[in-house]
Structure 1
Amino acid sequence: MLYAARTIMPLCIVSVASEMGWDKTESGTVLSAFFWGYTMTQFLGGYLSDRVGGDVVLPIAACMWSLITFWTPQFAYLSTDKHTSLYIIVLSRVCLGICQGFHYPGLTSIISRKVLEHQRSFTYSIVSSGSYVGTLFTGGMGSIMLDHYSWPVPFYIIGLCGITWMLVMRYMLIARHREKLVLASLGEAPLIDSSKVKPEPKSAVPWVTLFTKPAFWSLLVGHFCENNAFYILLSWMPTYFHENFPTAKGWVFNVVPWVVTIPSTIGGGWLADKMITKGYTVTFVRKLMETVALCGTAFFLFVISYASSYLSCLICMALAVACCGFHNSGILVNPQDIAPKHAGAVFGIMNMAGAVPGFVGVYIAGHILETTKSWNAVFSQTAVVCMFGWAVFIVFGTGKKIV
């Protein structure tokens, strides 16, 4: 639901811009506004989740971004003036990013405290695969609703779905808490073995120590470079196929890459946990997963520059996106390895750096297209950035606890 709400505006932007009279620059401002807000609350979300619990932070944030999604059409109609309505929508997109910024740091904090080390990769991969399911849901069902109804309908439906999910999640968390209280009152053992998963005492985040560790910086650099590739593919892939293969069906190239990414994400998590269970070091496993993610993405971006047929380009693009799925078992879960007591806060800083390509990398890709008219230039520079991030993480990354 998080990604369904996040990607509904890119799906509807053409219809919204047509009705509101926006040009491409104004449409781009609306789309990029989300990431300005998204960068603001990454650290705060991790810090609050580590202090009060992600199970408290997540439902509150979900309630807010679901309501913003639901109300977006109403925001657009608050004013009849074109520029005023544009400013209101941009502000709502910033607020949407602010609220969604709490999610992943809170999720990371929960997993680091409740899930055993050799089960974290698979758990995180299962949960993270929901981002691709949400993208598929918006691209599939959202496109159908957009074709048969006006553009506000997808916002209303997905907003209501988000609210429903939030209420169900909150109900299950409360039910789980009551179950523990009942078991405790009856003198029975808790369902989770406390000898294996012990609550960590709250303590201040040792930022000075973290900022002097090369492993921490390699985390930021690697995540920035991977997200740069992911956001460029997410934002520009439809335009690439539309310009190079105008007769191709949109539902194919908007769906196929995300379909193949779900099994790669889950499979990468299963493989990572399996290798750790078999005795491989966490450091080796994290670097192996990130090698597949960054080197694989770079390789297929280089190859697509020499592909000419629609099928070969679609396969290369799908495999490039699929390789991104292994990132969930590499760097994305690494904050739980190096700082288990402060995983939420560390993830927040890391994801703040990873959100920057959302408005910088995507803009630069557009500028390159505008000046060179070359998709090969875009893919090549993206691949080079991936290889740089891989080299930094391979040399300085670690799976050992540093704080």
Structure 2
Amino acid sequence: MQMQIPLIQDEKTNSSWSRKERQKWFLSLLCGTCLIYATRTSVPLLMPIISKEKQWSKPDSGVILSSFFWGYTLTQVASGYISDRIGGQKILLISALGWSMTTFFMPGVIELVSKSDSSVLLVATVRMINGAFQGMHFPSMISLISQRMHETERASFFSLLTSGSALGTLLTGSLGSYLLENYNWVIVFQTLGGMSLAWTLLLSYHTLPIKEKTASIKSATNYTLPWLKLLKKPPFWSCVIGHACQNNCFFVLLSWMPMYFHDTFPEVKGWVVNMVPWLSMLPCTFFGKALSEKIIKAGYSITVTRKIIETICFLTEIISLLFLAKVETFQSAIICLAFIIGGSGFHNNAIAVNPSDLAPKHSGSVFGLMNTVGAIPGFLGVYFSGYILHVTRSWPVVFIFIAIIDALGCIIYLLFGSGQAII
């Protein structure tokens, strides 16, 4: 991270990753992002089976699914701020150890408390702890990138890493579905948790230097973030609100999509449902990156570029959600969901990288704050969707509700969004 003192600034420049280091960190962080999403989506995948076995209602399932995001919001700001001070790689390792272990031991927790009257709350608590550790991943990662890469390369590097979320969901949809159909839900948790623990050990052994470079140590005592100045800026709040609205769509579908297909098209194979729609996200992320670069090369500003790409995201999701509310066939539902999830790939090249535009020296802290508010739909939207289903028993009502929230986020970002540094 660039600091205010020229000497430290020079030292930070010297501590930038070499080409070989960039490649090593990219592969490592991509694997980590893949696994963090694989473990995150394991619960939505398994919830129809577990809830039936444990006789949990839709609201009970909603509590467990949404509890993840209660923890997810708690650690975003603090982890981003601390990462900016002491180094993102340290927080990244702590995060990985926490969410890997809680995933691996989740079956034991569920079996241990299943006979208790408060079993739902106890499982939700462990799920919340898992979310708290996962909440540290992205702020520490974007902080690390800001500390070790040139400013012009950060947004592109980070947007490509976010494609790991699609790979992780595909891993759950393919491997997770296979293990579920041929073994049981316990094996799914243990396999994904074991893979995550193995990656954590690899991260610790191969990519974390024992001795920190002096720039990281010196910068820790000089780091300050102008919070009040940041909070007074409309571009920051447009970024936050737009991110929250898009996350509402992403998190609700991420959590409830397996249940939707289980209720609406019970005859369909689980691996198709949990894998096929997510195939669209990776190419859309790369296409969004290429389109962003082309628009900028054509002479348009970063602000205009971010707004165009984010508008593509929102319009794609809104139109597809409205179609999804009316579909009657499995094939049509899969196509609509593929377009919706593909829209998230454009979001990864717009609002998701906007903190690096707005606050290049404080991107970890700003991303953490943005993602904290952005995670609120994770528990409110996911829980409220479960409540809507319980009351109306209507999936179209849920989809229309998501589309309205998306439209709100699109309008606000178009009005107040910016790609220029504000602090």
> TM-score, structure 2 length as denominator?
0.84
Cα distance in 2 for partners of 1:88, 1:225 equals 29
Matching of residue 17 in structure 1 with residue 51 in structure 2: yes
- Which position in structure 2 is the counterpart of 1:304? 324
One-letter amino acid of the structure 1 residue matched with residue 165 of structure 2: S
Cα distance, 1:306 vs structure 2: 4.1
Match of 1:327 among 338, 347, 358: 347
Task: Say whether the 8 Å CA contact 1:118–1:277 is kept in structure 2.
Answer: no
- Show the 5 A alignment for 1:188-199: none
Distance, in Å, in 2 between the alignment partners of 1:398 and 1:158 is: 39
In structure 2, list runs of 5 or more residues that go unmatched. 1-34
Partner of 1:59: 93
Contact 1:66 1:159 in 2 (8 A): yes
**Secondary structure of the residue that 2:117 maps to in structure 1?**
helix
1:131 counterpart residue number? 165
Q: Is the 8 A contact 1:113 1:200 kept in 2?
A: no
2:292 aligns to what?
272
- Once residues 247 and 127 of structure 2 are traced to their aligned partners in structure 1, the CA distance between those partners, rounded to angstroms, is 20
User: What is the alpha-carbon distance in structure 2 between the residues aligned to residue 71 and residue 362 of structure 1?
Assistant: 24
- Whether 1:90 and 2:124 are equivalent positions in the alignment is yes
Note if contact 2:303-2:417 (Cα within 8 Å) is conserved in structure 1. yes
Query: After the TM superposition, which of the residue ranges 265-274 and 285-294 deviates more from structure 2?
Result: 265-274
**Is residue 2:308 matched to residue 1:288?**
yes
Identity score, percent? 42
CA distance in 2, matches of 1:43, 1:118: 24
**Cα distance in structure 2, aligned partners of 1:98 and 1:200:** 24
Aligned position for 2:41: 7
Rounded Cα–Cα distance in structure 1 between residues aligned with 2:113 and 2:233: 51
AA of the residue aligned to 1:156: Q
Quote how far apart the aligned CAs of 1:202 are: 4.1
Count of equivalent residues = 385
How is 1:183-262 mapped onto 2 (pairs within 5 angstroms)?
202-262=222-282
- Structure 1 distance, partners of 2:170, 2:277, is 10
One-letter amino acid of the structure 2 residue matched with residue 339 of structure 1: A
In 1, distance between residues paired with 2:40 and 2:256? 16
Q: Could you tell me how far apart the structure 2 residues matched to 1:304 and 1:13 are?
A: 22
Query: For residue 187 of structure 1, what is the aligned residue in structure 2?
Result: none
The CA deviation at 1:390 is: 0.8
Maintained 8 Å contact 1:124/1:269: no
5+ residue gaps, structure 1: 185-198
Q: Contact between 1:230 and 1:321, CA under 8 Å: does it hold in 2?
A: yes
Deviation at 1:84, TM superposition (A): 5.0
Please give the alpha-carbon distance, in whole angstroms, between the structure 1 residues aligned to 2:180 and 2:339: 28
Change (3 A) 1:216 1:200: farther
Partner of residue 119 from structure 1, selected from 153, 161, 172: 153
**Among candidates 195, 199, 208, match of residue 174 of structure 1:** 208
CA distance in structure 2 between the aligned counterparts of 1:232 and 1:277, rounded to whole angstroms: 36
Q: TM-score, normalised by structure 1?
A: 0.88
